[in-house]
Chain A
Amino acid sequence: MEKLIAEVKDLIIETLNLEDVSADEIGNEDPLFDEGLGLDSIDALEIGVAIKKSYGVELKGEDTDTHFASVTALAQFIESRRA
Chain B
Amino acid sequence: MKLDLRIDHLTFRAPWVDEDADLTADLFTKPDLKASLSKPKGKAAPMGTRRRMTPVSKMVIDAALNDEFPVDEMDYGVFSSRHGEATQKATLAENVLYREPISPTIFSQSVHNTSAGLFSIFRKCRKPTTSIAAGKQTLSTALLESHAYLADHPNAKVMVVAFDEMLQPALNIDKDCGETSATYALAMMVSRDNPNLSVQLNAEGEANDFELPETLQFLRWWLASPTDSLVTPGQNSLVAWQAV
Contact = CB atoms under 8 A, between A and B. Distances in A.
Interface in B73-128: 100-105, 108
B175 interface: no
Interface of A: 16-19, 38, 40, 42, 45-46, 49, 52-53
B51 A46 contact: no
Contact of A17 (B51, B100, B102): B51
Nearest to B51: A17
B103 A46 contact: yes
Given A17-B52, A49-B103, A52-B101, 11 more contacts: A18-B51, A19-B51, A42-B52, A42-B104, A42-B108, A45-B104, A46-B103, A46-B104, A49-B101, A49-B104, A53-B101
Nearest to A41: B104
Nearest to B105: A46
A2 B165 CA distance: 42
Name the residue in A16, A38, A40, A42 with the highest tally of chain B Cβ atoms < 10 Å from its Cβ.
Answer: A42
B102 A49 contact: yes
Contacts of A40: 48
A16 B100 CA distance: 18
